[in-house]
Structure 1
Amino acid sequence: MNSQRTQNIRTVSSRLNSFHSAMYFSETVGQEYAKHGLEPGVEGNLAARSAPLGRVNAGVVSAVYCNYSHSFIASQIPKLWDTVSPETMVQARFDAVAAFMAELFDSREDIALLTEAATELATAMQPVLANMDFSGRPLALATADALAGHEPNTAFEQLWAVATIVREFRGDGHVASLVTAGVPGIDALMLDVATGASFRPRAAQKTRGHTDEEWKSAQTRLAEAGLITVGADERGFDLPEITDAGRDLKEQVEQLTDGTVAAAWSALTDEEIEALVSPSRTLIKVLAQSGAFPSSIFAQPAKKTN
């Protein structure tokens, strides 16, 4: 793929990922999960995302999630399924999506324009979805199967379904790319944090369940390898900052990841992919305006939209 095509695919994929993941930080979504006896936040989100996999053991969930602490996952799975079944949780996630999208869009005066953008984007992505080979992508295929049995009620729910499949498809490819490059999940998380445009360090550690010892060990390992430097934030906590070598490694992994999705995206021409940039920008601005990505969790709450 030429560089502009690759960049456009990355841009649209990133925005679809944001459209999918904005719900993880919503109080409304947490309230939906609480109806099933789950704590809002990490517990509810863990149950919702892993539910399509069914009653698998902790090792499966930990492997596909990649950058979570395995000991943390093992403390939650399969215990969560004593509270709510995976089948019930799949539906609970759909209910949460509906509530979140209604909260986000229903009262907006520009809902007609936004509905048009969501419909355009979801429709245009159908050839990519149809072209996906899910071999070796367990979380993506399980998620796609769960979504196949659900009928969205609005254009925004439909786009969330599309975005979720695209996100997990690229995500499984990204995990394979990290393995190929020899980058452990916690190191990948640390490098992402170190860019200053992702999770705040303490939020990343907490939501992924890493102990202080695990986090410090990864930080030291990456610093000794010259991939990050370590300073301090305004509260005195360690603040990793990525080096040029770290950026090069991240780019190497991203290029490998690009290769894992190239066949799916070959269903669209360069011009068709470029046409997705505008409607995705329109929708992502709503997320930025809504505060969907809290500044207490993200160093940069919303990605640049232009």
Structure 2
Amino acid sequence: MTTAAIDPHAGRRCHNALNSLHATYYFSPDLGREMGAVGITHPRAVNFATRAAALGPVGAGMVAATFYNYKYELVARFVPAVWETATPGQILDARARAIDATLRRLLGEEAVASEEMAEAARLALRAAEACGRSARPLYSAYADLPVPEEPHLAYFHAATLLREHRGDGHLAVLMSAELDGLEAMVSHTATGKGMAPKWVFGSRGWSQEEWDAAAGRLRERGLLDAAGELTERGVALRAEIEAETDRLDRAPYEHLGAEGVARLTELGAGFARAAAVAGAFPDGLIGKG
């Protein structure tokens, strides 16, 4: 364990590796099956319920606030009604079963039971020891949950903690940059690394007209050009957002130390590549198209 400063890009790379595997369960047929078994079948209801269940039976306002880039009216179609179908505890149990099935299917039994998985779990949990609760509601809610005993589930739990810790901080940075949820998505997509618009419309509840209006607001601020590409000012703002997010998220990786971060990144990237090769993500998810 160490508290020495490390390259902030190393922390970001580590987060990205862990988050890539974490994201697989959102697209997993195992999640749909397990949630269907408790009576929740609509994809949006599944998404809201599984991610928000750690918060307890909250209302649409809390979900919209903590998720940030979803349209409130879409959230309100399913929350809080979803808690009448299944309790947060039942949903968390279904989520855990889905994660277990997803990792076994994508990575294989040998990887799930490997020493590398156990090592990754130890390293990720050690990093998460330095996460802070203040003004981080989603992280803090997940931090109240027990750490699973099985290494692959413990690894996923730690990846969730690190993901939501960074995510909560990122939202504070977006607010400071005066980007609302949709403007944040439009500008991120313009980098070529964000979610393609068709996925935004389907999963976040926004329309093409609302997307175009957000793009117009960004053009008025000099952040997008007429073709929808980031201007020099827009590129600089996105870089500042990531740098400030790194700063707010530095504690876990400084706690783990440079050697530990490098090893966790190596392990996490390997698991994420294996999952991607196994078809974890739908085609056309990322990009401007």
Instruction: Report the equivalent of 2:32.
Output: 30
Spell out the pairing of 1:158-177 with structure 2 (5 A cutoff). Answer: 158-177=154-173
- Residue identity opposite 1:260 in structure 2: L
User: Secondary structure of 2:280's partner?
Assistant: coil
Aligned CA distance change for structure 1 residues 91 and 113 (closer, same or farther; 3 Å): closer
Distance 1:252 1:3, change over 3 A: farther
Alignment-mate amino acid for residue 290 of structure 1 = A
Matches within 5 A, 1:190-205: 190-205=186-201
Structure 2 CA distance for aligned equivalents of residues 143 and 298 of structure 1: 27
Equivalent residues in 2 for 1:136-175, closer than 5 Å: 136-146=135-145, 148=146, 151-153=148-150, 155-175=151-171
Instruction: Provide TM-score, normalisation by structure 1.
Output: 0.86
Deviation readout 1:210-262 (Å, 9 max, x if unpaired): 1333222112212333323465xxxxxxxx43333222111111111112122
Q: 1: distance between equivalents of 2:240 and 2:38? A: 42
Matches within 5 A, 1:86-125: 86-106=88-108, 111-112=110-111, 115-125=114-124
Letter paired with 2:115: E
2:253 corresponds to: 265
In structure 2, stretches of 5+ residues that fail to align are none
**Which residue does the alignment assign to 1:290?**
278
What letter matches 1:212 in structure 2?
Answer: Q
Q: Give the whole-Å Cα distance in 2 for the aligned partners of 1:105 and 1:273.
A: 22
Q: How far apart, CA to CA, are the structure 2 residues paired with 1:79 and 1:195?
A: 36
| Correspondences of 1:189-268 after superposition (within 5 Å) | 189-229=185-225, 231=227, 240-268=228-256
CA contact (8 A) 1:33 1:92 kept: yes
How big is the shift at 1:124? Answer: 1.4
CA-to-aligned-CA distance 1:153-184 (integer Å, 9 cap, x gap): 3x322211110010001100111111122221
> In the TM superposition, what is the alpha-carbon distance from 1:297 to its structure 2 partner?
2.6
CA-CA distance at 1:113 after TM superposition:
9.0
Change (3 A) 1:278 1:227: same
Amino acid across the alignment from 1:187: E
Residue type at the aligned position of 1:47: A
- Greater mean alpha carbon deviation, residues 288-297 or residues 2-11: 2-11
Instruction: Name which of structure 1's ranges 81-90 and 205-214 shifts more when overlaid on structure 2.
Output: 205-214
Q: CA deviation at 1:60?
A: 1.1
Q: How far apart, in 1, do the equivalents of 2:96 and 2:200 lie?
A: 25
Aligned to 1:303: none
* Cα-Cα RMSD: 2.3
> Higher mean Cα deviation, 217-226 or 55-64?
217-226
Q: Distance in 1 between matches of 2:95 and 2:226?
A: 38
Structure 1: distance between partners of 2:111 and 2:31: 24
Q: 1:3 to 1:252 in 2, by over 3 A?
A: farther
Q: Verify the 8 A CA contact 1:193 1:204 in the aligned structure 2.
A: no
> What residue is the counterpart of 2:176 in the other structure?
180
Partner of 1:237: none
The structural deviation recorded for 1:4 is 6.9
**TM-score, length-normalised on structure 2?**
0.90
> Once the 2 structures are TM-superposed, how far is the Cα of residue 152 of structure 1 from its aligned partner?
4.2
**Aligned equivalent of 1:18, options 20, 27, 39:** 20
The answer to which structure, 1 or 2, has the higher relative contact order (CA under 8 A, 6+ apart) is 2
Cα distance, 1:2–1:129 mapped onto 2, change above 3 Å: closer
In 1, Cα distance between the equivalents of 2:78 and 2:202? 14
Distance 2:143 2:79 in 1: 21
Identity %: 31
CA shift for structure 1 position 82: 1.8
* Count of residues in Structure 1 that have an aligned counterpart in Structure 2: 286
Give, in whole Å, the separation in 2 of the partners of 1:113 and 1:32: 20
List alignment gaps of at least 5 residues for structure 1: 232-239, 301-306
Q: Secondary structure at the match of 1:228?
A: coil
Q: What residue is the counterpart of 1:8 in the other structure?
A: 10
Cα distance, 1:3–1:204 mapped onto 2, change above 3 Å: farther
Paired residues of 2:185 and 2:194 also in contact (CA < 8 A): no
Q: 1:56 to 1:274 in 2, by over 3 A?
A: same
SS at match of 2:229: strand
**CA–CA distance in structure 2, aligned partners of residues 112 and 25 of structure 1:** 20
